[in-house]
Structure 1
Amino acid sequence: MRTTIAFEKATWLLLPFLVFGLAAPNERRATTAGYYALPYYPAPYGGWVDEWASSYNKAKKLVDSMTLAEKTNITAGTGLSMARPCNGNTGSAERVKFPQLCLNDAANGVRLTDNVTVFPDGITVGATFDKKLFYQRGVAIGKEARGKGVNVWLGPAVGPIGRKPKGGRNWEGFGADPVLQGIGTRETIKGVQEQGVIATIKHLIGNEQEMYRRQTTDIVSPAYSANIDDRTLHELYLWPFAEAVRAGVGAAMTAYNRVNGTICSEHSYLINRLLKDELGFQGFVMTDWLSQITGVQSAISGMDMSMPGDTLIPLFGNSLWMYELTRSTLNGSVPMERLNDMATRIVAAWYQFGQDQNYPKVNFDTNTKNAIGQLYPAAWPTSPEGVVNKFVQVQEDHDEIARQIAQDAITMLKNEESLLPLSKDHPLKVFGTGAQVNSDGPNACTDRSCNKGTLGQGWGSGTVDYMYLDDPISAIKEQAQDVTFYNTDKFPTVPSSTDKDIAIVFITSASGENQYTVEDNHGDRDKSRLNAWHDGDALVKAAAAKYSNVVVIAHTVGPLVVEEWISLASVKSVLIAHLPGQEAGESLTNVLFGAASPCGHLPYSITYAENDMPDSVTDLIDSAFIDPPQDVYSERMYIDYRWLNKEKIQPRYAFGHGLSYTTFSYTNATIEKITSLSKYPPARPTKAEMLDYSQDIPDYSEAVKPQSFSTFWRYLYSWLSESDAKAAAAKATSSKYPYPDGYTTTQNTNPPRAGGAQGGNPALWDEVYRISVLVTNTGTKFSGKGSVQAYIQFPGDIEHDVPIIQLRDFEKTAKLAPGESERVEVALTRKDLSIWDVSVQDWVVPDPDGDYKVWLGAASDDLAVVCYGIDSSCDYDTDGPVSYTSKV
């Protein structure tokens, strides 16, 4: 049953519990006291924003011409591996010329195919803090996806946001901050969709760890419940989704886990209220693969597409939709209006991105690398064969953008005595298996589910097959004259060292999706924690004891604890190379030998100890039985640097930290107020007139399989047998589905006041402050790129609890020669200056005329300039906004 409300809780925490948490049919699922959600029905219609109106009109016309079985056929997948060619494949409506849609991973390219680029992972591009590179990577991925015939690319990922440092899939996203994630996803979506490919924002929401995220069975292993209050949800976890919707993203994917007790695939509040109504999402919502646990409930809760179509156990060709959705609409359980809306959203996205005109057909098959393969693989041995792979080359010159990202992401933590860049004539002793490609081949482990050799990607469905892997040792040997490589993670017996010897030590830390366990890590880094794998810390210490000059290079999915060796006198330089994809070699040697100055910045904080962060984010859920495990977001908005600043805990290396071979000054700053503020934004625009989806239940004959059609075992079809169709139609007036409390079919005439357009009320993006600063390369030897990060500090006298500073924008200079300058602009919007008002359910500027400060600099703890909104002045060389009381 629903839990009671603890009325003694703080007011700002109370109201979200009244509107956010448990909903039928999971009411029996217990949650931590106070967390549940009111229902939100029905699913809001799309098509009411100008940018999508034409596509919706065309889509409705096409859907109106479909039969019942055709409509249900395009809203679900044909089965997991039950049909070629892609990770997910919808049914089609060939009679009206609507094709089967190909949905394909990964987060860093096109998965399970050939002649493609393995781009650096999201966490790597996040470390560039460069909007241009975000966008260019999106363009290149979009071109490759289109060239392979992919209709829907299953990225980018902003959930997880990186709340838990040991979280298994943090590397697929852009970093542990909502604005960094939001800008990353916005620019990626723009680049991908400009190529005509539908992008997918995922995972909605609270998928912050891998273990126990999935509902494997209802009793033994229920999915955990992410218990999030309303303000935290809006200010952190929903923030990048709003940016994605504002960018016009065509698809969204729900998460496996529960949120406040309710499984995400049937969470009417998340899908209907927040995504489709408040954020104005116009595309279609799909399940994550095998995350759907109900049929009717997920349909009325706003789900539009079931992927890959099967039940939780995909063995016998059963589905919660397809056949069952046809039955449920024919018997009246799912209204025809809902089915028409579902189908129209899918077809509208197809029209929106021009896929009805000369779109390439799929030319690859995820099931085999051979040219000839089974057309219906899981129907073996009855499947016919045919040409399934055409080996289309789509890489073009994308290695260049991949290499640039990998290079510009490299983050220098330390460089004492200016050991780097290296001279090419120094004797180099290279240690660690991470320096060389896996001897079994870069693709030897399925979905990269091992940590052998150079670590270019995490593991799981977010990976791409290498066509080649430019490994570091090959690139180092091409540049240096005297290289000795010890391909081992155990320090070997070596000759006596000389003062000229430089040791380069490679260490790694991997993670990935929970369907694989790698070296006792169950997706999350539960075994290795935040330590280097393969006893990498010992390898560094041994090298430091032997050599007086040591360079450490870490390929890692996220933060490491480096205290065992970071302060050793001989460890002079440390580079975090993140996950560079296929271009791990030359991108690194360009930095090592000085062809490029390092310009990456940490997209997360590195702490002295794991427990410098709160238990709620350091602890992983490690068991589940009968009742869902509870993951309470008790730290609220205080993740990563926000928590450290609040608790005055000094990080070893702060969020945004990154050194260069040169230095930069920040001078001549200006701040201009563009828009006067009111406490609340202007009233939202009214919705345009929506399409009419009403329809009587059609004759049962529209659901019956044609006698001449041959089917394949385990392939999912939407047709009913004639007897089942007649029986379902007979029940339409005699029986009723047990709808949840609050269920209605009447469209909401009082939509959320925070909405009004894609992403929310368009006034939220009104520019309020425009800030510029002159960035000058003050060094004398090296060119380099300067980073400008802009953090907001709210007025100190407001009544709301807010983080001390919060990232709000960033820009990067072009490469500046010594003495060269560039004026950089950043901007802050109304939303940047707002907090989420849980009582009014809108964004509020707590003090429109208050003393907002904008801090500018190279890192969250290196902010050299502060500009004051109250009088449009700027100061330099002031004490920063954060003071620490520990680990100094």
Structure 2
Amino acid sequence: MSAPHSFSIFSLILLSLSSCASSIDVPAGYVAAPYYPAPHGGWTSDWTESYRKASLLVSNMTLAEKTNVTAGTGIFMGRCVGNTGSATRVEFPSLCLQDGPLGIRNSDHNTAFPAGITVGATFDKNLMYARGVALGEEFRGKGINIHLGPSVGPLGRRPRGGRNWEGFGSDPVLQAFGGARTIEGIQSVGVIATIKHLIANEQEMYRMYNLAQPGISSNLDDRTLHELYLWPFAEGVRSGVGAVMMAYNAVNGSACSQNSYLINNILKDELGFQGFVMSDWLAQISGVASSLSGLDMSMPGDIHTIPLLGSSYWMYEYSRSILNGSVPVDRLNDAVTRILATWFQLGQDQDYPKPNFDTNTLDAEGPLYPGSLFSPTGIVNEFVDVQGNHADVARDIARDAITLLKNTNGILPLSKTAKLKVFGTDAEKNPDGINSCTDMGCDKGTLGMGWGSGSARYPYLDSPIDALKARGANFTFFNTDSFPSNSNPAASDIALVFVNADSGENYITVENNPGDRTSANLNLWHNGDKLVQDVAAKYTNVIVIVHTVGPILLEAWHDLPAVKSVLFAHLPGQEAGESLMQILFGDVSPSGHLPYTIPTSEDNYPDSLDLIGFELGQPQDTFTEGLYVDYRHFHKANITPRYAFGHGLSYTTFSFTNATITPVTPLTSTPPARPAKGTPPSYPTAIPAAAEAYWPAEAKTYRIWRYLYSWLEKADADAAAADLAAGKKYPYPPGYTTTQKPGPPAGGAQGGNPALFDTAYTVSLRVTNTGNATGRAVAQLYVQFPPGLAVDTPAVQLRDFAKTGPLAPGASQTLQLRLTRKDLSVWDVAAQNWLVPSVAGDYGVWIGEAVDRLGVRCGSATGGCVEKAFSL
């Protein structure tokens, strides 16, 4: 790790390759700046007691105990997808880390919730929180300490990106509320949430470092980083998230898992993050470098090149690097303290259950360490049912996310006696079995989620066909994606056509799509366009229901006279059926809104949003579009999309009236000075005796092959101490120092300077149901910066949203929205701070039902609100 004898030649060659290639082709101006040392945690008052408790344990731990809790014990070396080492002498257990964002991966008796993109489409902060609570209850019920979710990165910059569906949408504020409310829900029951992936991992291909090439480098400027991609992470940290997972890719030429600028400067100093930072699985590519750069936990512990060899960059190598002086003792102490403090912060020291499932098998008994060929066996699954009443939450989300895009002549809702013809395999469950494809790595039957580590097993799948049967609907189903010759169209028939578009994580390729939609592009899968066209040629009333991971092209059939209605049901999870029926038959009026823009062509997007193909050396992905992603880009390019961000129809209509804007906190160009850091725990900095890392004699008798341990052979530990005594020095990176910094001006608390979140204005408006059906409205608030600024800003930007309860015809509800100082600021690269560019300027505060349906404008300077349509 730190000295030549701690590496294999193989690893040295690889690291040399990665180091040399990491900055070769990074464009000028984008190279990541170094930032050292890693800031100590424990300086915010809301974590003081947890750090105090943690420091008492850390002060009593040996070197091997400390290094043991900073890394996983190896892939497939325990019940969970990640299992840390323990320190049983001080009563600190092995921690269980488990995927994923929409439910417990590879488990049983769990709920398969709607995906993040579906939650975003609800625009409902209460449902975001409720889903978080339900997730937390299930993870705790299975004995999982650390939930590997939510995901707010990728942002969805790249429409064909494979994992966009795990997050909440293509706007940073929508992502921020989705992530923060989910974190608050998960952690309310004592489970540690993990916000991921920091940062700018916007495509799946070439994301990982390997023998052939380094991972793709996402190159973005500092303002774009702060105003788009970092925004949801800042809100997650502000919500007290316990863990942050770094991305696989590089940013500005430096791998995220050892990017000192991102971890030390941005995350731990500017955002004041008090929890611990972990690598994604096998994303750690170095030992000392990653430690110095602020990584606190290596997952799953193995080296990234060829796991399952018992090799690690940390564990025993971390012990060696402390003994030979390569890593300062206080860096290890801080990493361990952060992990233990988070455990205390979430109350996991009090009656927290142990894991009662096994991610590797559904059998009751099996190997305790499946990665070892010589593992002891025992009970690994207790089949604990953690579902509770969570199906209700899942169904509510799936229903309230359904987005009605088109409804010609009010064809929806359907009458109970409607004669239906149903087409498309997406309407019914996978005939091979709902969990027949590992990690949902196929597109067969109803699409409830994408594929990869963000998936979960279904306890059951309520398909649309199941729900039609349960309703006693009058329907005939043709379970094919080709138009059948025997459907016998009649004038009174209404045709329901089910189509989908899938994507997922890069380790699985589905129908020639390696995670990203490389083969499918933004088209429907399984010849869905032709199916709709063929049905529309024979039937006069066609309703298209789409299950999709993100934007798709509708142009091939959208305007056909027979296509009367289009609904996006997104990714509904296990509750795909009844949730849809409640909308189709009018039990509930649709209230979902698009969490992204739907284009008329892929040419609507700038070239920089295309997927990056193979490149010699490190692939370079330079974000030349800057702030102009999704609707921001469409405004700047003056392109009218097929459907705008936020679009969503209802069976009723709403008016927005009586709007008022009220100043709360006076603005200044620069925010008030940040609070000074509190005092974190301190420890002796003397390097411990080599004996603290010796293998205990009794431990060698039960050593598990390939399992990762933190102990060293006596000769190795003594040799490391001898290297220190001989004055051998590790080649520290440029800018390296051990002197702690006071912190940047934009910092001061979790999430940044607390003054950034002061409410600058409150906005109130009355929403009235002016139609004939009960329904819920979403008010979306966008900010338009004053004209004539020296700094470029998008036309409008989402800053808040609120959703009414069910409103009967004629009923009203008053909604409250807010604007913070940060909402009205821009990131000043020179000042490295958030600045209000025009304190006296008139900010346009626009409110409406979508970004292209803004009908109320309030002025920050005028103090008044008028009903007025927004135009570019």
TM-score range, shorter chain: over 0.9
Aligned match of 1:123 in 88, 104, 117? 117
Report how far residue 28 of structure 1 moved: 5.0
Q: Is 1:137 the counterpart of 2:128 in the alignment?
A: no
Aligned match of 1:65 in 52, 60, 67? 60
1:238-287 alpha-carbon deviations (Å, 9 max, x no partner):
00010000000000000000100001000000000000000000000000
Counting only pairs closer than 5 Å after superposition, residues 809-888 of structure 1 correspond to structure 2 as 809-876=800-867, 878-882=868-872
In structure 1, the partner of 2:96 is: 102
What is the CA–CA distance in structure 1 between the aligned matches of 2:230 and 2:209, rounded to whole Å?
23
What is the CA–CA distance in structure 1 between the aligned matches of 2:695 and 2:462, rounded to whole Å?
53
What is the CA–CA distance in structure 2 between the aligned matches of 1:503 and 1:590, rounded to whole Å?
18
In structure 2, the partner of 1:804 is: 795
Q: Is 1:338 the counterpart of 2:335 in the alignment?
A: no
Report how far residue 334 of structure 1 moved: 0.7
What is the CA–CA distance in structure 1 between the aligned matches of 2:859 and 2:619, rounded to whole Å?
46
Aligned match of 2:252 in 243, 250, 260? 260
CA contact (8 A) 1:36 1:260 kept: yes
Which amino acid is the alignment partner of residue 207 of structure 2?
R
1:25-61 alpha-carbon deviations (Å, 9 max, x no partner):
7665331222112210000000000000110011011
Provide closer, same or farther for how the CA distance between residues 125 and 347 of structure 1 changes in structure 2, counting only shifts above 3 A.
Answer: same
In structure 2, the partner of 1:231 is: 223
CA contact (8 A) 1:409 1:601 kept: yes
Aligned match of 1:526 in 518, 524, 527? 518
Which amino acid is the alignment partner of residue 339 of structure 1?
L
SS of residue matched to 1:724: helix
Which amino acid is the alignment partner of residue 134 of structure 2?
A
Q: Is 1:644 the counterpart of 2:644 in the alignment?
A: no
Report how far residue 476 of structure 1 moved: 1.5
What is the CA–CA distance in structure 1 between the aligned matches of 2:619 and 2:426, rounded to whole Å?
36
Aligned match of 1:679 in 669, 687, 706? 669
SS of residue matched to 1:201: strand
What is the CA–CA distance in structure 2 between the aligned matches of 1:510 and 1:495, rounded to whole Å?
27
In structure 1, the partner of 2:602 is: 610
Aligned match of 2:757 in 740, 765, 784? 765
SS of residue matched to 1:689: coil
CA contact (8 A) 2:115 2:571 kept: yes
Aligned match of 2:72 in 77, 84, 95? 77
CA contact (8 A) 2:160 2:518 kept: yes
SS of residue matched to 1:789: strand
CA contact (8 A) 1:121 1:581 kept: yes
Q: Is 1:328 the counterpart of 2:318 in the alignment?
A: no
In structure 2, the partner of 1:476 is: 468
784-793 vs 26-35, which moves further = 26-35
What is the CA–CA distance in structure 2 between the aligned matches of 1:329 and 1:24, rounded to whole Å?
23
What is the CA–CA distance in structure 1 between the aligned matches of 2:829 and 2:248, rounded to whole Å?
26
In structure 2, the partner of 1:509 is: 501
In structure 2, the partner of 1:695 is: 685
Aligned match of 2:179 in 178, 185, 194? 185
1:685-722 alpha-carbon deviations (Å, 9 max, x no partner):
00112221342111111001111112111111010001
Report how far residue 424 of structure 1 moved: 1.9
SS of residue matched to 1:551: strand
Which amino acid is the alignment partner of residue 845 of structure 2?
V
Q: Is 1:462 the counterpart of 2:454 in the alignment?
A: yes
Counting only pairs closer than 5 Å after superposition, residues 44-55 of structure 1 correspond to structure 2 as 44-55=39-50
Report how far residue 24 of structure 1 moved: 7.0
Which amino acid is the alignment partner of residue 803 of structure 1?
P
Counting only pairs closer than 5 Å after superposition, residues 519-598 of structure 1 correspond to structure 2 as 519-598=511-590
CA contact (8 A) 1:341 1:693 kept: no
Counting only pairs closer than 5 Å after superposition, residues 158-237 of structure 1 correspond to structure 2 as 158-217=152-211, 220-237=212-229
CA contact (8 A) 1:23 1:261 kept: no
Aligned match of 1:371 in 345, 351, 364? 364
Aligned match of 1:315 in 308, 320, 333? 308
SS of residue matched to 2:47: helix
What is the CA–CA distance in structure 1 between the aligned matches of 2:31 and 2:490, rounded to whole Å?
66
Provide closer, same or farther for how the CA distance between residues 415 and 819 of structure 1 changes in structure 2, counting only shifts above 3 A.
Answer: same
SS of residue matched to 2:800: strand
CA RMSD across the alignment: 1.1
Give TM-score scaled by structure 2 length: 0.97
Percent of matched pairs sharing the same residue:
60
In structure 2, the partner of 1:10 is: none
SS of residue matched to 1:344: helix
Which amino acid is the alignment partner of residue 665 of structure 2?
T
Q: Is 1:39 the counterpart of 2:34 in the alignment?
A: yes
1:141-189 alpha-carbon deviations (Å, 9 max, x no partner):
0000001111000000011000000000000000000000001111000
Which amino acid is the alignment partner of residue 831 of structure 1?
K
What is the CA–CA distance in structure 2 between the aligned matches of 1:482 and 1:679, rounded to whole Å?
64
What is the CA–CA distance in structure 1 between the aligned matches of 2:515 and 2:734, rounded to whole Å?
37
Q: Is 1:414 the counterpart of 2:406 in the alignment?
A: yes
Report how far residue 373 of structure 1 moved: 1.0
What is the CA–CA distance in structure 2 between the aligned matches of 1:429 and 1:339, rounded to whole Å?
64
Q: Which runs of 4+ in 1 moved over 3 A?
A: 22-29
Provide closer, same or farther for how the CA distance between residues 511 and 534 of structure 1 changes in structure 2, counting only shifts above 3 A.
Answer: same
In structure 2, the partner of 1:14 is: none
1:647-692 alpha-carbon deviations (Å, 9 max, x no partner):
1100110000000000000111111011111001000000112221
- Show structure 1 runs of 5+ residues with no match: 1-21, 883-888
Which amino acid is the alignment partner of residue 742 of structure 1?
G
In structure 2, the partner of 1:634 is: 624
Report how far residue 23 of structure 1 moved: 12
Aligned match of 1:279 in 271, 275, 298? 271
Which amino acid is the alignment partner of residue 825 of structure 1?
Q
What is the CA–CA distance in structure 2 between the aligned matches of 1:467 and 1:478, rounded to whole Å?
19
What is the CA–CA distance in structure 1 between the aligned matches of 2:474 and 2:398, rounded to whole Å?
25
Equivalent residues, number = 852
CA contact (8 A) 1:23 1:38 kept: no
- Show structure 2 runs of 5+ residues with no match: 1-16
Counting only pairs closer than 5 Å after superposition, residues 654-673 of structure 1 correspond to structure 2 as 654-673=644-663
In structure 2, the partner of 1:443 is: 435
What is the CA–CA distance in structure 1 between the aligned matches of 2:181 and 2:812, rounded to whole Å?
26
Report how far residue 605 of structure 1 moved: 0.2
What is the CA–CA distance in structure 2 between the aligned matches of 1:376 and 1:675, rounded to whole Å?
57
CA contact (8 A) 1:58 1:348 kept: yes
Give TM-score scaled by structure 1 length: 0.95
What is the CA–CA distance in structure 1 between the aligned matches of 2:514 and 2:559, rounded to whole Å?
31
Which amino acid is the alignment partner of residue 77 of structure 1?
G
In structure 2, the partner of 1:17 is: none
1:759-797 alpha-carbon deviations (Å, 9 max, x no partner):
0000000001100110011012x1100010000000012
SS of residue matched to 1:434: helix
1:51-106 alpha-carbon deviations (Å, 9 max, x no partner):
0011001101101111000000000000111x221010000001110000000011
Which amino acid is the alignment partner of residue 231 of structure 1?
R
What is the CA–CA distance in structure 1 between the aligned matches of 2:27 and 2:863, rounded to whole Å?
46
CA contact (8 A) 1:26 1:262 kept: no
Which amino acid is the alignment partner of residue 53 of structure 1?
T
What is the CA–CA distance in structure 1 between the aligned matches of 2:368 and 2:59, rounded to whole Å?
31
What is the CA–CA distance in structure 1 between the aligned matches of 2:200 and 2:22, rounded to whole Å?
19
Provide closer, same or farther for how the CA distance between residues 669 and 47 of structure 1 changes in structure 2, counting only shifts above 3 A.
Answer: same
Which amino acid is the alignment partner of residue 101 of structure 2?
A
Which amino acid is the alignment partner of residue 233 of structure 2?
F
CA contact (8 A) 1:25 1:740 kept: no
